[in-house]
Structure 1
Amino acid sequence: MTPDRPRLLYIDDDPGLSRLVQKEFERNGFTVELLTSGAAGVERLRTSNDVDVVALDHHMPDQLGLDTLHMISALPNPPPVVYVTGESEGRVAVAALKAGAADYVIKDASPEFLTLLRAAIDSALEGRRQKFLREQAEAEMRAARDRFEALANERAVLIREVNHRVSNSLQLIASLLQVQSAAQSDMKSAQTLLNAYKRVSAVARVHKRLYTNADVRFVDLADYLCGLVEDLRQSADQGSRMLQFLASQTRIGTDFAIPIGLIVTELVINAYKYAYPDGDGPIRVKAERTNDLITVQVQDDGIGVTEHDWRRGGGIGSKIVLAMVEKIGGAINIESGRSGACITITFTAVDPAPELDAVGDSLTSVLVIADSLVRGMATSDEARDEIEPPVLLLVEDDPLMRMVVAGNLEAAGFRVEEAGSGEEARAIWTRTGGVAAAIVDIGLPDCRGDQLASEFRASMPNLPIILATGYDEKVVAPGFVGSRYSRVLAKPYDDTALLGILGALGITGGTIPVSETGPALAPRVM
């Protein structure tokens, strides 16, 4: 289309009216081309596509306008046609519109004819312009969709390959743990290694399913837990125990599958150990979905356990379960009685974003497992000093990161009070009446970490405070930089650096230094 001077092809065998139309439209900014037959008009349009709009008369000597209109409509990308007829009967107009005309005008000798023709042609041109813009937008959308699909396919291949490699690496780690467990003469150390093997295997199983799934964002919960339960059954100390599984088919995001796998592993292992001290009995694992609510349940008919004892237990298993439940935004309910214990996990399923979160969560989970292994081996040493450990307040909203840091600090001889928000930290502060030092994340869900630290300082002016941040320390906490009793620690956490800062502030633990237990654990920033 020529935006400045649209080209009008006027086909009519009436020379007087044709010249009148030409004069009027050229005066109004059109380029007008006149032809006297339908055949000539069709040939003109076939050989060139520079015509923007056609006005076609109904009665012509060589053929009717309707026949010409059919031939024009059959051309590739034809211009819009305004049908001009002297017939006042509506059937001609209806036939023209059905044949593809954009509009029609009744031809007569009145001045209104040119006005109506101009309005019809302007409308046809606007319709063509809108069609062009629509087709252009659709073409751009198709191109964008093709690019997106190509990127999505590339991403899926990448994620599948990453999951394949992660799965292989985790399987290797699990195998090494199993071999090392078998080589241990100390039964407690062997059991610690075996527990770590089972936990790593639970994470590896997710990734094995990820790189074999068509959709890497999801895992079928029933298939996944069925395989996990079978592995736990085969690795049980006593094969006679009855481990039962019941679940309906439902998909969950991989960012839920890894925590759920670890939760079920810990609960089943715990039931194996403690539910039946005098014999064997059934352990049932159930999973079901009601709308968006997913319930996972581990039940036994053993001696039972109170919720207070389970939550307050010192074992790493219960801490892992609680951290993983918090990670998925779920809730845990513990029922116990003469008929046994039933632990129920509920959470809301949401569709995951197509990211690599599952890989990051897996690596963080492995760090948690490694941390439990370090602490399990360290606590088997009976030569610990009988010293009342200093109490630290750790305020960090990421449960897995908080668990790893707390574990390293406990292994270094501190007692740690953990809080996931400012509100929880204030409650601990009120209950304890103060701590030896506070480690506070700058970004908390309900307040800023430096503001919370200032509240603590109001009641204990010389309280040593370490602010943890992933940002520039001079920007996020200018008032704390250089203070005698304050330090800023860059995230991700480095336990060696953290212990060094505590030592510089005059605070040391009562047990072995973390450097003797292995390399520093540095989880990613969530």
Structure 2
Amino acid sequence: MSDAPTRSRILYIDDDPVLARLIQKALARVGIEVVHAPDATEADRLLLGEKFSAVVLDHYLPSGTGIDILARMRAAGSKVPAIYVTGSSEATVAVAALKAGADDYVIKSATEEFLPLLERSIRQAIVKLELEEARDRADAETHAARARAEMLLSEVHHRVANSLAMVQSLLRLQAQASASEEVRTALAEAQGRIGAVAAVHRSLYLGNEGRQVELGTYLRTMLSDFTATLPSEVRLEVATVPVHIGADRAVCLGVVVSELVTNAAKYAWPGGTGGRLSVTLAEGRDGKGRLVVADDGIGSSPLSESRGTGLGRRLMRAMVDQLGGTVEQPDTARGTTVVIEFETECETVG
């Protein structure tokens, strides 16, 4: 038997004083202190008042069995390792002990192998418990660290949301104070673009762990905010299927949709009559996402003509290029339709 690096203290429960003394001497030489309990009453008293690294139980005792003691230990929540000692013909007893919560069992015999086997079983049970406790501590620390991180992330989300809302409010105030229609229009467009980014931020905050956005939900949320800024004559209709996409790609698509919706509201119905404006997200070819923005207005060529400063058109082109997607304007009998196809990087859920 090898020398023990640290001293362990075990409780040995057996009504055989000679064997108990033999075990005490043998294990003491390898750094294991043995406290002897001859019966269940003394064992219960010691377990209640003292601390042990492990417990070794014999089956037959003056009153009851070792399984009775073991059952009381586990019922009280004790995790102290327990090694059951049985005779060579008592396999059913060993199985019952394991079911009752024993960590191991050792066959009691008069051979030289008994004590080394008992020592090894004790050490293995102690190491197993130490590993389990270390794992539990690591899990607790991980949970605590995650809770702290979530609290900090929540605070960051809150501050970012406040900052975006403040910038939008400042742009709105500046637009209201400006006497120039061109300046008011430019500030309103900038406000819409910031709103697209803010909508992605809300989608991330509401449960995507910062990695992905469910694009359909994001677009509906963003466009519900847009509805308040559209002329009352414009009927905005949104239809989507669930598509999961990276947050940075969602921002690009949000900016594109905001530009197309804003342009349609401004130019599709110059007489102020209004009409139908739709945004549709569907599954495209080869598993790609397909985004369609259409109106029933007078028709235009937003992909080739510049209106105002042309910044919106350039932004839309840049965003689609960043997505590695394509943008087309098919011929339609009425109004303007723009079709964008893009890689989702994830499966589209139909």
The TM-score normalised by the length of structure 1 is 0.54
What is aligned with 1:53?
A: 54
Separation in structure 1 between the aligned mates of residue 194 and residue 316 of structure 2, nearest angstrom: 18
Mapping of 1:195-344 within 5 angstroms? 195-203=185-193, 205-206=195-196, 215=206, 220-228=218-226, 231-234=229-232, 245-248=237-240, 253=247, 255-256=251-252, 257-272=254-269, 284-290=277-283, 293-300=289-296, 302=298, 305=301, 309-310=304-305, 315-336=310-331, 341-344=336-339
Q: Secondary structure at the match of 2:63?
A: coil
Q: Which moved more, 1:97-106 or 1:122-131?
A: 122-131
How has the CA–CA distance of structure 1 residues 52 and 137 changed in structure 2, closer, same or farther, with 3 Å as cutoff?
Answer: same
Instruction: Give the Cα–Cα distance (whole angstroms) in 2 for the partners of residues 152 and 316 of structure 1.
Output: 34
Gaps of 5+ in 1: 182-189, 352-526
For residue 92 of structure 2, give the secondary structure of its aligned residue in structure 1: helix
Write the distance in 2 (CA, Å) between the matches of 1:64 and 1:303: 92
CA–CA distance in 2 between the matches of 1:11 and 1:306?
89
Task: Give a deviation string over 1:380-425, Cα, whole Å, max 9, x none.
Answer: xxxxxxxxxxxxxxxxxxxxxxxxxxxxxxxxxxxxxxxxxxxxxx
State the Cα RMSD in Å. 3.6
Contact 1:229–1:245 (CA under 8 A) maintained in structure 2 = no
Q: Structure 1 residues 255-264 or 91-100, which shifts more?
A: 255-264
Please give the alpha-carbon distance, in whole angstroms, between the structure 2 residues aligned to 1:300 and 1:79. 77
Taking structure 1 as reference, are residues 73 and 304 closer, same or farther at Cα in structure 2, changes over 3 Å only?
Answer: closer
| Change over 3 Å in CA distance of 1:336–1:142 after alignment to 2 | same
> Which residues in structure 2 correspond to 1:375-454 (within 5 Å)?
none
1:44 counterpart = 2:57? no
1:96 CA drift (Å) = 0.8
Q: Equivalents in 2 of 1:19, 1:334: separation in Å?
A: 94
The verdict on how the C-alpha distance between 1:143 and 1:345 changes in structure 2, with shifts beyond 3 A counting, is: same
Aligned length: 327
Q: Any idea what the Cα deviations from partners look like across 1:503-524, whole Å, max 9, x if unmatched?
A: xxxxxxxxxxxxxxxxxxxxxx
Does the 8 A contact of 1:221 with 1:250 survive in 2?
A: no
The CA deviation at 1:194 is: 4.8
State the match for 2:340 in structure 1: 345
User: Comparing both chains, which one has the higher relative contact order based on Cα–Cα distances under 8 Å and sequence gaps of 6 or more?
Assistant: 2
State the 1:101 CA deviation.
Answer: 0.7
CA distance in 2, matches of 1:306, 1:68: 84
* Unmatched runs of 5 consecutive residues or more in structure 2: none
CA contact (8 A) 2:175 2:183 kept: no
Letter in structure 2 aligned against 1:160:
A
- Which residue identity does 2:279 align to in structure 1? K
Change (3 A) 1:292 1:20: farther
What residue in structure 2 maps to residue 173 of structure 1?
174
Partners of 2:299 and 2:335 within 8 A in 1: yes
Partner Cα separation in structure 2 for residue 200 and residue 312 of structure 1: 15
The 3 A distance-change label for structure 1 pair 306 and 230 is closer
**Contact 2:269–2:297 (8 Å) recurs in 1:** no
Q: Is the contact between residue 7 and residue 30 of structure 1 (CA under 8 Å) also seen in structure 2?
A: yes
Q: How far, CA to CA, are the matches of 1:162 and 1:198 in structure 2?
A: 17
Q: How far apart are 1:55 and its partner, in Å?
A: 0.9
Say if 1:67 and 1:318 are closer, same or farther in 2 by CA, change over 3 A: closer
Q: How does 1:361-372 map to 2 (within 5 A)?
A: none
Structure 1 SS opposite 2:110: coil
* Alpha-carbon distance, 1:102 to partner: 0.7
1:34 is the counterpart of 2:27: no
Query: Aligned residue for 1:390?
Result: none
User: Could you tell me which amino acid in structure 2 is paired with residue 60 of structure 1?
Assistant: L
* Residues 84 and 106, structure 1, Cα contact 8 Å, conserved in 2: yes
Aligned counterparts, 1:7-22, within 5 A? 7-22=9-24
Equivalent pair of 2:59/2:67 in contact (CA under 8 Å): yes
| 1:255–1:303 CA distance, 2 compared to 1 (3 A) | closer
| Matching residue's letter, 1:130 | L
Distance in 2 separating the partners of 1:144 and 1:115? 43
> For 1:88, what is the secondary structure of its paired residue?
coil
Give distance in 2, aligned partners of 1:125 and 1:199.
68
Relative to 1, partners in 2 of residues 1:269 and 1:325: Cα closer, same or farther, differing over 3 Å? Answer: farther
Q: What is the alpha-carbon distance in structure 2 between the residues aligned to residue 230 and residue 346 of structure 1?
A: 28
TM-score normalised by structure 2 residue count? 0.77
1:354-391 CA distances to partner (integer Å, 9 max, x unpaired)?
xxxxxxxxxxxxxxxxxxxxxxxxxxxxxxxxxxxxxx
1:251-288 deviation line (CA, Å, top 9, x unaligned) = 87573434431343135534446xx9xx9785643221
- Offset, 1:7: 1.6
Query: Retained in 2: the 8 A contact 1:21–1:114?
Result: yes
Looking at structure 1, the residues matched to 106 and 53 of structure 2 have their Cα atoms a distance apart, in angstroms, of: 18
Task: Compare 281-290 and 103-112 and name the one that shifted more.
Answer: 281-290
8 A contact 2:11–2:35 mirrored in 1? yes
Match of 1:106 in 2: 107
Q: Which amino acid aligns with 1:245?
A: E
Q: Could you tell me how far 1:315 is from its partner in structure 2?
A: 4.0
- Asked if the contact 1:296/1:344 (under 8 Å) is kept, the reply is yes
2:15 aligns to what SS in structure 1? Answer: coil
